[in-house]
Amino acid sequence: MSDQSDQPLLRSLLAYLRMEQTSFHVPGHKGGLAAPLSLQEALGAGSFRLDLTEVGMLDSLQHPVAEMRDAMILASLAFGADHTWFLVNGSTAGVHAMLLAVLTENEEVLISRDCHLSAIGGMILCGSHPQYLFPTWDSDWHLFLPAQASSIADAFRLRPSVAAVFLTSPSYFGIASDLGAVGQISSGKDLPIMVDEAHGAHFAFHPAFPKTAMASRIDLSVQSAHKTLTSLTQSALLHWKRGRVEEEKVRAALDILQTSSPSYLLAASLDASRWQMANEGTKLWQSTIELAEEAREQVNRINGLRCLNPNDLRDRGYTLDPTKLLVDVWRLGMDGFRAARILQAFGVDVELADPWHVLAVFSVADTPDSLKRLLLALKKLPEFLPPSRSRFDGSRLPSPPKPSSFFTPRQAFFSPCDRVRLSESRGRIVARSLAPYPPGIPTLVPGEMIDADTIEYLRLWQQLGARILGLEGEELWIKVVH
Ligand SMILES: Cc1ncc(COP(=O)(O)O)c(C=O)c1O
């Protein structure tokens, strides 16, 4: 089972369709026959015909024995894992499953605080007790640098009771820790290590990319194939290495968390995307990297803009994913949200904006033409500067607060709650996460206390135009522990 030229799941689905069975099973649209015309026109007949789930002679996602199993085996070989599960509810489900499989109630997990909201959800599910590792805030580039082996080793010395480690690498901006070094320190400790590698599904397919978790003696990692590869939205991968985590526990967690009617359209898209990467990935990524490098060079020449370059972080042990183009716009005198709106007006949508930056993500879909459009739009930015008295000065914006934690996320989530205005919440403990989205890194996690600086920080982001999950209505209501 190592023929990477095969696509067993997609092949079996197509063979099934050729049999032209009369369907007396779900889904109710029955191959699109009864789908609303508007949707049929929008999607085309092919997508409906492939929109199948675990029925009749098709294999099962949760207990695979045939083409689904074979597709996952091929994926595990291509991504360097001992086992890979297909996910149909994004990396979110995979992050939840990792935490639920590894930790029990009140067990301590060393977790880097630049984690995504899904990790907080996972801790609410398993009831673990987080020991947060606050990542370094780089005040030149205004971003978090993911945790490195040295800070994890220090934290181990301070908290010998931790039962597992959870890291996020690469960051949303493509900054990757030295996972090889992380894998080595943990092997002495024999603690399971989980990595949220949502933004690194492409790393196995080109030597210029950071080393993957699976190549670094990490026990479990999750990758959003839909983000950086070519599979459909929501499709993702959970990888496992034999050793410190029981495979059965991960399977059992996934059985709880994933739907019992998985979309085979999503699963087949993972099979096909793995095929594409295994057979053509290196060549495709080589062209993408060249385009992104060209972009970096050109953007650095635009007055007032600068891009994060691989060399900027190398001496601190980080590898930058070259396909992420992080453009610092604030020195121009405008914030990233405004810059993103201007780019949008010139026909270019970027992945993320924050007060200081816009982030453009390159993929194997990009071409010299898409690069040209991005550059044309970026060159327009200096023409839209606000009047000098209202120019944005990013150096005056505070860095993210480091709140103190009083309850576990689960205790806070299940506590009786009050609803209060953000402006009147000083000294209260939040019961829900508050997170600018994207990137979805919570400013406050359930169980943490709100202080005056945090209120001011959230208010400033909100005023600039950030969407903040957890803040409701014009009066900015939040949920706090009673
Ligand atoms: C670091 C990180 N982890 C996990 C997720 C969740 O991924 P998904 O959207 O595939 O559920 C995201 C989403 O943006 C993310 O940025």
Q: What is d(CA 446, CA 453) in angstroms, rounded to the nearest whole number? A: 17
Query: Coil, strand or helix: which one is 430?
Result: strand
Domain made up of 409-481: CATH architecture: Alpha-Beta Complex (3.90)
Q: Which of 85, 92, 120 to probe ligand 1 with, by most ligand atoms within 8 A of CB?
A: 92
pLDDT tens track for 64-86: 999 999 999 999 999 999 999 99
Q: Which residues pair with 444 in a beta bridge?
A: 434
Identify the H or E element spanning 126: helix 117-126
Q: Are 193 and 186 in contact (CB under 8 A)?
A: yes
Question: Which ligand 1 atom sits closest to the C-alpha of 172?
Answer: 16
Q: Pick one of 3.40.640.10, 3.40.50.300, 3.30.300.130, 3.20.10.10 as the CATH number of 8-24+56-276.
A: 3.40.640.10
Torsion of CA 256, 259, 265, 271, to 10 degrees: 0
The answer to whether the CB of 236 is under 6 A from ligand 1 is: yes
State pLDDT tens for residues 357-383: 999 999 999 999 999 999 999 999 999
Half-sphere exposure of 162 (CA within 13 A, CB side): 24
330: left (phi over 0), alpha (psi -120 to 50) or beta: alpha
Name the DSSP class of 374: H
Q: Give the CATH number of domain 278-395; options: 3.40.50.2300, 3.40.50.10800, 3.90.1150.10, 3.30.200.20.
A: 3.90.1150.10
Joined together, the tokens standing for residue 159 give: 């908290």
**Exposure string for 142-164, b = 16+ CB within 10 A, e = fewer:** bbbbbbbbebbbebbeeeeebbb
* 92 Cα–ligand 1 center, Å: 6
Q: Which atom of ligand 1 is nearest to the CA of 227?
A: 10
How far apart CA 216 and CA 236 sit, in angstroms, is 20
pLDDT of residue 389: 84
Q: Is 210 in the pocket of ligand 1 (CB under 6 A)?
A: no
Residue 326: strand, helix, or coil: strand
pLDDT at residue 186, rounded to an integer: 65
pLDDT at 168: 98
Q: Under 8 Å CB-to-CB from 399, ≥6 apart: which residues?
A: 137, 139, 142
Residue 116 in contact with ligand 1 by CB distance below 6 A: yes
Q: Give the pLDDT score at 27.
A: 94
- For 238-289, the pLDDT digits (tens) are 999 999 999 999 999 999 999 999 999 999 999 999 999 999 999 999 999 9
For a substitution probing ligand 1, which of 96, 111, 115, 116 has the most ligand atoms within 8 Å of its CB? Answer: 116
Instruction: State the Cα–Cα distance between residues 374 and 435, nearest whole angstrom.
Output: 28
Specify the pLDDT at position 167: 97
In one-letter notation, the amino acid at residue 229 is L
Under DSSP, is residue 137 helix (H, G, I), strand (E, B) or coil?
strand
From the list 185, 196, 59, 46, the residue with the least C-alpha distance to 118 is 196
| 8 A C-beta contact, residue 59 and residue 67 | yes
Q: So what's the pLDDT on residue 1?
A: 67
Helix axes 67-79, 264-300, angle to 10 degrees: 20
Q: At what angle do helices 368-380 and 264-300 cross, to 10 degrees?
A: 50
What single DSSP character describes residue 346? T
Residue tagged 């098709």 (tokens):
58
Question: Rounded to an integer, what distance in angstroms lies between the CA atom of residue 266 and that of residue 386?
Answer: 44
- Domain positions in the chain: 8-24+56-276, 278-395, 409-481
> CA–CA separation, 109 vs 123, rounded Å?
9
Ligand 1 atom nearest residue 224's Cα: 10
Q: Report CA-CA distances (Å) from 173 to 169, 289, 392.
A: 10, 15, 22
- Ligand 1, residues 86, 91, 144, 233: which to mutate, most atoms within 8 A of Cβ? 91
Positions of the chain with pLDDT lower than 70, given as ranges: 1, 186-188
CB-based contact 363:230 (threshold 8 Å): yes
Cβ count near 436 (within 10 Å): 24
Q: Is the CB of 114 under 6 A from ligand 1?
A: no
Compute, in angstroms, the gap from residue 57 CA to the centroid of ligand 1.
Answer: 33
Quote the tokens at residue 108: 């301590």
Q: From residue 67, how far is each of 59, 102, 262, 392 by CA, in Å? A: 6, 28, 15, 55
Spell out the residues 6+ positions from residue 458 whose beta carbon is closer than 8 angstroms to its own.
422, 434, 443, 468, 471, 476
Each residue's pLDDT tens digit, 163-190: 999 999 999 999 999 999 999 886 667 8
Pocket of ligand 1 contains residue 258 by CB under 6 Å? no
